[in-house]
Structure 1
């Protein structure tokens, strides 16, 4: 009889110990300080400080170069549009690109990198794109980097021949 009682109490003690330690771990992670947002003056001061670094000087030189001006002008044109018609010009990104899955496309005479974050189920539909395909594109952001000679469009919706090929799935957690 005593052995049965001990056999029932022992797992109870082990499980309660695990639950208790798990609660302590969760409490410790929630005590991290929340980073405060910077004021406009603080952001400007940090930007000035960064511009004095070697990376900041390189970026400023790139912005003033003809290549940088072309990329910035292309990014400005796109940020005003919501739905665009594009022609796929290449199924691969420039050599050395680290952007993940994407294609090159021409929009209103300018070349752009179209970057996607597809789910595995969406890859097959995007692989069906061919050079010279005309697509309807919606983007959720335009960016640029000195490494690339083209503005980078983050695609959120692609349609070809009235058939949806890609629709971005929002990230969970709000970001």
Structure 2
């Protein structure tokens, strides 16, 4: 009888030890993958290193080109309302993004007489369902927390965080989970 009990307990102990050891290995990997934030000097060094690459040189050349300066000037025009997260009046000019863009769902909008890409991100489930009701020449009110640009696009890219039409909220970006 003792042999049977030992025969049953021994595999249980071995399996429990393996499970516990595997859990410790996973915890060690998780701790090692968290990178510490770079200091200002390290960030500057990394930026200078990137600027020396072919992509960095191409970007620098684009910034000083007439088209690049035009895009940067447009982005600067709306920097204050973006920084303050205040309302901006816009008119939808096109329901599709420029050909070849990989920004996800978005529309073209005119803000203060200038054209911008209003990007919402990758379309998942039905989160942009109400935005599909937009039509060309619709007047909307938008709020954004960021403006970006890239040499690939002739327009600044405004991230759409809030869209309202006729005092009705069409879209409001959900807050980030698990972050600040």
2:51 is the alignment partner of 1:51: yes
Cα distance, 1:66 vs structure 2? 0.9
Determine helix, strand or coil for the equivalent of 1:120. coil
Partner of 1:156: 161
Partner of 2:143: 138
Within 1, Cα distance between the matches of 2:21 and 2:14?
11
Q: Provide the alpha-carbon RMSD of the alignment.
A: 2.7
Partner of 2:116: 112
* TM norm structure 1: 0.85
Pick closer, same or farther for the CA change 1:93–1:11 going to 2, 3 Å: farther
2:101 is the alignment partner of 1:97: yes
The CA deviation string for residues 38-92 of structure 1, in whole angstroms up to 9 with x for no partner, is 3323322222222222111111110011110011111111221121010000000
The CA deviation string for residues 8-49 of structure 1, in whole angstroms up to 9 with x for no partner, is 979966984675255224322233054233332332222222
Gaps of 5+ in 2: none
2:72 is the alignment partner of 1:60: no
Partner of 2:73: 73
Within 1, Cα distance between the matches of 2:105 and 2:95?
10
Within 1, Cα distance between the matches of 2:28 and 2:42?
30
Determine helix, strand or coil for the equivalent of 2:50. helix
* Residue 129 of structure 1, aligned match among 125, 131, 134: 134
Gaps of 5+ in 1: none
Matches within 5 A, 1:29-44: 29-32=29-32, 34-44=34-44
* Residue 85 of structure 1, aligned match among 68, 73, 89: 89
- 8 Å Cα contact 1:157/1:168 also seen in 2: yes
* TM norm structure 2: 0.82
Cα distance, 1:163 vs structure 2? 0.8
Determine helix, strand or coil for the equivalent of 2:127. helix
* Residues matched between the structures, number: 175
